[in-house]
């Protein structure tokens, strides 16, 4: 549309100038009006042809190529971003899984430790009880042994006392009296 104005109107000044300067024959070429019409016609044809080529074919083609490249770049960037997001998510999942596993391991460790502690406590308690029982038995045995020993001591003492009395007094003392005297001295 724009060129057709130029084409149509562009010839007018040429015609005017030619009318004005028709007398100059071998003048300065750019002001030689005799060739204005030829130039205007060829300019109009050339420019309209150029405009049609440019607007119909060339610019859509080059613009399309540029747009396609732009889209490709944007698409690639978007895909890269998507992949990055995916890898970020994977990393996050991995980390959270790792943390969960770690806490689980810790829990298992704690549980095991408690179990083992309880078991060892129980074992120790049982052992202690057994030892306490043995100790009590031993103490009882010691006590009986001692009691036996003491009663033997009493018998020996009574016999010894009876023998001493017989030697000294020549009389055989009453066994009961000796026994009670020994008991009294043992007590004292």
Phi, psi of 22 (to 5 degrees): -65, -25
Sign of CA dihedral 113, 119, 120, 121: positive
For the CA atoms of 173, 179, 183, 188, what is the dihedral angle to 10 degrees? 0
Counting other chains too, the contacts that 139-146 makes at CB distance below 8 Å and 24 or more residues apart are none
What's the CA gap between 158 and 164, in Å, rounded? Answer: 10
Is the distance from CB of 23 to CB of 42 less than 8 angstroms? no
Residues near other proteins, by CB under 8 A? 2-3, 5-7, 9-11, 13-14, 17-18, 28-32, 35-44, 46-47, 49-51, 53-55, 57-59, 61-66, 68-69, 72
Q: How far is the CB of 73 from other proteins (least distance, A)?
A: 9
Nearer to other proteins, 9 or 187 (CB): 9
Nearer to other proteins, 50 or 91 (CB): 50
Nearer to other proteins, 23 or 188 (CB): 23
Q: How far is the CB of 90 from other proteins (least distance, A)?
A: 30
Q: How far is the CB of 78 from other proteins (least distance, A)?
A: 17
Nearer to other proteins, 59 or 127 (CB): 59
CA angle 9/10/12 to nearest 5° reads 70
Q: How far is the CB of 57 from other proteins (least distance, A)?
A: 6
């Amino acid at each position: 549309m724009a060129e057709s104005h130029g084409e149509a109107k562009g010839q007018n000044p040429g015609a005017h100038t030619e009318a004005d300067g028709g007398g100059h024959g071998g003048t300065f070429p750019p002001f030689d009006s005799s060739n204005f019409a030829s130039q205007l016609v060829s300019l109009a044809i050339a420019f309209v042809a150029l405009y049609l080529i440019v607007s119909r074919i060339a610019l859509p083609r080059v613009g399309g190529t540029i747009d396609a490249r732009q889209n490709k770049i944007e698409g690639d960037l978007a895909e890269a971003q998507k992949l990055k997001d995916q890898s970020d998510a994977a990393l996050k999942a991995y980390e959270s899984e790792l943390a969960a596993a770690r806490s689980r391991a810790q829990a298992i460790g704690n549980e095991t430790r408690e179990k083992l502690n309880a078991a060892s406590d129980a074992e120790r308690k049982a052992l202690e009880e057994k030892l306490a029982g043995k100790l009590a038995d031993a103490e009882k045995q010691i006590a009986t042994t001692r009691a036996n020993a003491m009663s033997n001591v009493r018998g020996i003492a009574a016999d010894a006392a009876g023998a001493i009395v017989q030697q000294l007094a020549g009389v055989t003392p009453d066994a009961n009296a000796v026994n009670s005297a020994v008991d009294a001295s043992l007590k004292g």
